[in-house]
A and B are shown apart, each in its own frame.
Chain A
Amino acid sequence: MTDAAHLPPAPARGCRDVPVLKERGQREVFCGLTGIIWLHRKMQDAFFLVVGSRTCAHLLQSAAGVMIFAEPRFGTAILEEKDLAGLACANEELDREVDRLLSRRPDIRQLFLVGSCPSEVIKLDLHRAAERLTQKHAPHVRVLNYSGSGIETTFTEGEDACLAAMVPTLPDTDERQLLMVGALPDVVEDQALGLLRDMGVSPVRCLPAHRAAEAPGVGAGTVVALTQPFLNETAAHLERRGARTLPAPFPFGEGGTTAWLWAVAQEFGVDADTFAKVTEAPRARARKAIAGAAETLKDKSIFFFPDSQLEIPLARFLTRECGMKAVEVGAPFINKQIVGPDLDLLAEGPTIAEGQDVDLQLERCRAARPDLTVCGLGLANPLEADGLATKWAIELVFTPVHFYEQAGDLAGLFARPLRRRALLSGLEGAA
């Protein structure tokens, strides 16, 4: 069902069992605090209060860009010299800042105390602080905590830590339901819900929900469909509450989306005819949209630096549906339980790397001279200056890229730097 005629059959040997190159050294990655930038857009009545240093505030400001001026629902309680002197004092200070914040923002229903490297190192107990503050501000506001520190989390793992912290607070339910997990842009979430509704899958709930009051229940009847590959802790927490996680490739591209939906369809007893009827038209649209970008991408080589854990599913999409050749697929963390189905579909060949020693990886990248390199903003311009085309990775987390209607846009994100390079070739040597 999932192997349409136009897509290559699943490779005889995928990458699930190839040895993973595990590296340790300097890592050029964001910390989990960055997740706040997109999470706060999704959860409309939540405020994210980082307890950290000026560095944390500076990071959020650098990552949030201009968004910082639109009265964002996040901020940093900056630790000062006096907070480091005695811990009792730090708790009082935190309570005072939270009181002030909540009195200024009465619309807030969920407050996340987000741990940082400094707060973790001084062992400021934010978990107890969250419990204390929940009691104080109940029932109006629920205060939760998670860590987005760099010492514990890498980039998208911040979302994982946040959602995992919410799981214990979800109500119990025995209802048989599909729980779609991962913060998707609203437009994408609506499309996914529409497809599932048309197939007759019901009820479907989302984590995170837009508002605290819409939080889903969880229990033995819950089937979890992850929409993002980085939700390892969240999946584990949901399983602890009795839920079961569906193994499936992630819904990138036509093939990925179809396989994802098919996994759900099988679980909920959707017949093949209904499935075909619902997916036929959007599949055709997705194929057509991808074809445009695939002309540029065909036979081009691609190198992924670790960033978001989206690398393996994206490499699967680009190799199978756009005809690219993967050289190295680096990910900050690889959980084979979760990205296994994508690894199965990624033909053997590329180096699969977990972790990073950035200088060594740069050496490999420069030696391979890939046609396109996916990397962070700290590396992108330096690599471009070396003559390598790059696609900066953070955009893949902010831009709607999942499911059928975005499949063409997703391929377009990778084709654009190559098209631009070709267009500007007359500038060579001018700089």
Chain B
Amino acid sequence: MSFVDYADTIKDGDTAIVFLGHESMFPVKVQHGSKTQTKYGVIRHSSDLIGKRYGSKVTCSKGGWVFILHPTPELWTMNLPHRTQILYSTDISLITMMLELKPGSIVCESGTGSGSLSHAIIRTVAPTGHLYTVEFHQQRAEKAKEEFQEHKVEHLVTVKNQDVCKNGFGVSNVADAVFLDIPSPWEAIGHAKSALKIEGGRICSFSPCIEQVQRTCLAMEEHGFTEINTLEILLRVYNVRTISLQIPDLGKAAEDNSSTGFDSSNQSNQGSLYGILQQGTAQFKSGVPLKEMVGHTGYLTFATKSLF
């Protein structure tokens, strides 16, 4: 397994995702002789995981079972240990497309943070592209390096521990795209410009507050970026439910059923719709919005550096 390559079977040293059911999962590092506790009992790596096919069902000691999934950047995003606030896949998708990332792209990123976006970028630019990621917090930079090694993608990424606003990305005129997720992105726009290729490229900055966006847009304009565009993307998730609504009892029905205007072709109790005690219900499937949803993550500001 690697984060940039599918494998069929689970091997020693892999990072696998243990799926326990509805939205509940966690990552596990597969090791000979290791054990993992779940609410369904113990998973013994040597006998239960190694050599098994990804996507198969694993029965735990208490008789319960889990699925073992092949890691992807999206599953990692949902399960990674947070060291900072992270970017989720909804924003990541738009960033990837609007920065025009593809195999072979050279990308600069700052800050690395928990590496949620980093994994997605590496996945997209592999096998011939490269990610230069800058993180000023030493511990976080170290941890990110470790993770990239564990996930077998270290050859596609260079982690630098420095302050991007002061020292830039440590590369110049090589990048096709630059991504900024730092408190003061306007201070890094100049460095971003010099990191981008001479013939041009794309830039994106992620900020939660509109004041940050305003200063960033001004800086972009000053540095000659064009096509400056600020977006926000919201994800709406729906639960699929079967809903039953009661048919009101309006007393004895008139002889003519159609006069009620209700289409009685529904699955349930035709004919007795207007019975006295018969509970008439109409059933239908509905996509019900979640009670609570994420209303705002941040603004995404995109721009183009052109040759001129």
> Is this pair of chains taken from one and the same complex?
no
